[in-house]
Amino acid sequence: MSLLVSVFMAIMALPFLVKFSSRMRITEKSFGSLAALNLAEAGLERAIWEMNSGDISSWSGGIDARTLNISNFTASNGTVIGNISTTVYNSQGLTPVIESTGTAVHIGSPSVSKTLRVVLEGGAPAPLFNFGLFGGVGGVNIGSGAVIDSYDSRLGAYGGTNVHDGGNIGTNSDIYGAINVGNNSVINGDAMTGTGSDPNEVIIQGMGSDITGETVPLDDAKVLPSVPVPTGLVNRGSLSAKGTSTTISQSGQYSNFALANGARVTITANVTLYITGAFTLNNLAEFRINPGCSVNLYFGGSWSLNSNSMINNMSQDPTKLVMLGTDTFSGSKTFCNTFTTYAAMYFPNANINFANTAAIYGSIIANQFMIGNNMQVHYDEALASLQIGLSSGTSAFEMRSWQERII
């Protein structure tokens, strides 16, 4: 009887033992699969960090494909979890691809693997002209009755539906009054202060003024790279004209550039001009840029812009006139131009005072600047993608797509 009972109990227990063993294997395989997936994720995170902050050139392979293998990846308690193999394809492109394979051991088979594939985007040079107004460490001082907003020149002229609220202003400074908005001025955009600062302790607003967007600190300080002196330009000496007209169709370097008594210089081609000394416009002088032509205008000395002179970008496209100040273009500078100006201005070492200026379409980046009463600044959103070859770092890579690759 005892033997019969034992046999019966064994027969009854056998299915439970088989079922329990099967479930153990499934659980173990599931654990191994999850571990392999986590290992693959760790490989992705490592690769993205190396792309943004490390040195992926130390990985094996070349620019087309670089690989990092990590064997016997262990937990904090010393337990070996598995291996990681990560490959970055097209590492120097704007959309590199990462494939990461995690391999973990589990019962019933030698290993289980999971492969993840990610496409990145970013890594382009950080935008230089991504603010309507930005003052480095000196800040931004806006007169009374001013209006700051944005538009997109790629959509046509400013006005109507092409008036936006992207007229952001900012500074790297965290001192009190680094952003000073005058009475009845309107900022149709955000106001950003130095990293880690309290905007309420940095921004001063006059009576009736309004900042329609957020007042927040910068996540990271805006880098204002130095402007290198252009090389390879033909030295054309000095240009001085009074009451006459002339044209420029070739790039060149000028020791001084002076127009007076209604003189006009017309740019008839895409050129780069570097003024090492004084740039002077007086008495109805005009610096004209013909439609379709573009100018990169470098300043290395001083300027004198009389209020009845004109910088006339006839395309009315701010991307066609880029004004740059080299390291020697520093100190206080006054910009007097009662006519509307279409330009992207970048003067990282200068303190600019915009006096008697009606309106500027484009972007102004300087160490410090002041704009006068009732002035209008219409930031051109097209400038955010304008690259002028300055070393301002790159934006961080981010994931554009993520998928598990089935092998």
Taking only the tens place, the pLDDT of each residue in 156-207 is 999 999 999 999 999 999 999 999 999 999 999 999 999 999 999 999 999 9
Consecutive H or E run containing 11? helix 2-52
Determine the pLDDT at residue 267. Answer: 97
State mean pLDDT over 335-354. Answer: 89
Write down the pLDDT at residue 25: 61
More confident residue, 300 or 10: 300
pLDDT by residue (tens digit) across 253-289? 999 999 999 999 999 999 999 999 999 999 889 999 9
What percent of the chain lies above the pLDDT cut of 70?
Answer: 91
The DSSP secondary-structure symbol of 200 reads G
- Has residue 349 got a pLDDT over 90? yes
pLDDT tops 80 at residue 105 = no
Residue 389: predicted pLDDT: 75
- Quick one: pLDDT at residue 393? 58
Q: Label residue 347 by pLDDT band (50, 70, 90).
A: very high
**pLDDT score recorded for residue 392:** 54
Per-residue confidence at 21, pLDDT binned at 50, 70, 90? low
- The token duo for 314 is 């006839």
125/238: higher pLDDT: 238
Examine the pLDDT at 57 and tell me if it is beyond 80. Answer: no
State the pLDDT at residue 17: 61
* pLDDT for the residue 20: 57
Is 124 a residue whose pLDDT tops 80?
no
- How are beta strands 97-106 and 109-121 bridged, if at all? antiparallel
Q: For 262, which DSSP code?
A: T
Q: 239-263 burial, b for 16+ CB within 10 Å, e for fewer? A: bebeeeeeebeebbbbbbbbbbebb
pLDDT score of 394 more than 80:
no
Q: Is the pTM value of this prediction over 0.75?
A: no
Q: What is the pLDDT of residue 250?
A: 96
23 SS3 class: helix
272 vs 274: CA distance, rounded Å: 7
Instruction: Report the pLDDT value the prediction gives residue 27, as an integer from 0 to 100.
Output: 60
391, two tokens? 């070393």
Residue 378: predicted pLDDT: 97
Lowest mean pLDDT among 50-64, 75-89, 288-302, 305-319: 50-64
What are the DSSP calls for 284-310, one per residue? S-EEEE-TT--EEEEESSEEEE-TT-E
Q: What is the pLDDT of residue 22?
A: 61
Provide the mean pLDDT of the chain. 88
Quote the pLDDT of residue 14.
Answer: 67
The CA–CA distances, whole Å, from 35 to 72, 80, 81, 108, 114 equal 13, 11, 7, 16, 9
Q: Quick check: 151 and 164 in contact, CB under 8 A?
A: yes
Percent pLDDT > 90 in the chain is 59
In eight-state DSSP terms, residue 127 is P
Q: How far apart are CA 32 and CA 136, in angstroms?
A: 53
Tokens of 100: 């990461």
Residue 12 pLDDT > 80? no
The pLDDT score that the predictor gives to residue 1 is: 84
Work out the average pLDDT over 60-88. Answer: 86
